[in-house]
Structure 1
């Protein structure tokens, strides 16, 4: 008489496997992988900025604005995913990236909370620093720069949907898991440390000193979404929810429909 073996969960389609995943070797990447991805992000941003730099006095073409905004983050996120394939078990297993409807609902809930945090935080922050200093780096790029409809839509979709996916893979994916796997003596401490460190690094890594405090406020609900479910999808959804209104503002500004 034979007994059937229980089926192993399929990463990305069902319940997450344990960490390290059952039947798979432990990932061979850690905090150094995140530092490498950050280096790739900064180096690609510097390279792209030099590559597309116009002659002195000439305005930056809209095409170059899109490339300079999107390319570095996408390249860095692709590097993070590649590391999980080369040194681990892929992003689904290593970064706890899987599809669960409860994660979507949690992300929406924390996303709404994030919108409240962002609205209140942005109002207070604007009063402190003044309206002239209250513009984000992306908003400053598109300000007074009318775009074609297609270019404006691309920027809108990036800020709303693609950018959050890339940033979550880097900060609450690669960085979170690297911190979580350090020896904290208690699993709960590891998760809390991952939440605190990823939130702080996310805010600082935008390299916008005036906005760092505001970015910390924005990052807290996104990190709480990741902390509450233990999986990456919830923070991706929360981040996308939080970015929708800023992305819409950038779209309308780029089309010269409204001034913000």
Structure 2
């Protein structure tokens, strides 16, 4: 049963805030792509790969946090972002479920689309591109820990809060609508049409952690645990330990 939550002060931001943050993310990615991607992908320096991968999501998440401070009550109140060990435990449970779903989904999906089409966008960036240990570790830490925090702030924080604010007729339906909408938008916003169905499978356990706890930490932990194996695989591939 979902725990009861203390009443939170109403924030003054909504879907416009999320659209602004998405616009910042896409504009930053496009700008960096224009500045850094002047040559072929194979010739792109590792430094540019790291910047192009990390910067758009980090900047967008910082804008989201700023919006909650300027137009709301701050990220702790508006995004339900607080430290609770029971949320960590719930996040680990749903993260473990997510790993099972991800491994199973990837196995099925790879056989449907074929090995040649199974590489993610980030995987394609590091494919056949040996990295220094420091660069590979930086990529690993981002994919495993920092990236999930930023994405959860944007999707299960800002977008969830915007959907929940509408109410949709009742508090219960508002939470369910926020879960469905954030799960769908999370999958689509990665702009990888072939992988959208797989991303939906991955996103459901993460969203459930947010739904069950009512706070953001559970989904952050679930997302981080779910990302661990893919991030580790990319780390070992970038270091040349695993064959592509």
TM over 0.5: yes
Please tell me whether residue 229 in structure 1 is matched to residue 213 in structure 2.
yes
Please tell me whether residue 169 in structure 1 is matched to residue 153 in structure 2.
yes
Instruction: Note if contact 1:62-1:151 (Cα within 8 Å) is conserved in structure 2.
Output: yes
**Counterpart for residue 18 of structure 1:** 7
Please tell me whether residue 64 in structure 1 is matched to residue 53 in structure 2.
no
* Consecutive aligned runs of 4 or more in structure 1 exceeding 3 Å deviation: 54-58
User: More helix by proportion, 1 or 2?
Assistant: 2
5+ residue gaps, structure 1: 1-14, 21-25
TM-superposed CA distance for 1:18, in Å, is: 1.4
Q: 2:96 aligns with which of 109, 112, 115?
A: 112
**Counterpart for residue 75 of structure 2:** 91
Larger RCO, structures 1/2 (Cα 8 Å, 6+ apart): 2
| TM-score, reference length from structure 2 | 0.96
TM-superposed CA distance for 1:55, in Å, is: 3.7
Please tell me whether residue 194 in structure 1 is matched to residue 178 in structure 2.
yes
Look up the SS of the partner of 2:131 in the other structure: coil
Instruction: Note if contact 1:137-1:208 (Cα within 8 Å) is conserved in structure 2.
Output: yes
Tell me whether 208-217 or 177-186 shows the greater mean CA deviation: 177-186
Tell me whether 85-94 or 54-63 shows the greater mean CA deviation: 54-63
| TM-score, reference length from structure 1 | 0.90
Q: 2:36 aligns with which of 35, 47, 52?
A: 52
TM-superposed CA distance for 1:57, in Å, is: 8.3
Q: How many residues align?
A: 241
The two structures, once aligned, show a CA RMSD in angstroms of 1.3
**Cα shift readout 1:182-230 (whole Å, capped 9, x = no counterpart):** 0311110000000000000000000000000000000000000000000
5 Å matches for 1:35-50? 35-50=19-34
5+ residue gaps, structure 2: none
**Counterpart for residue 254 of structure 1:** 238
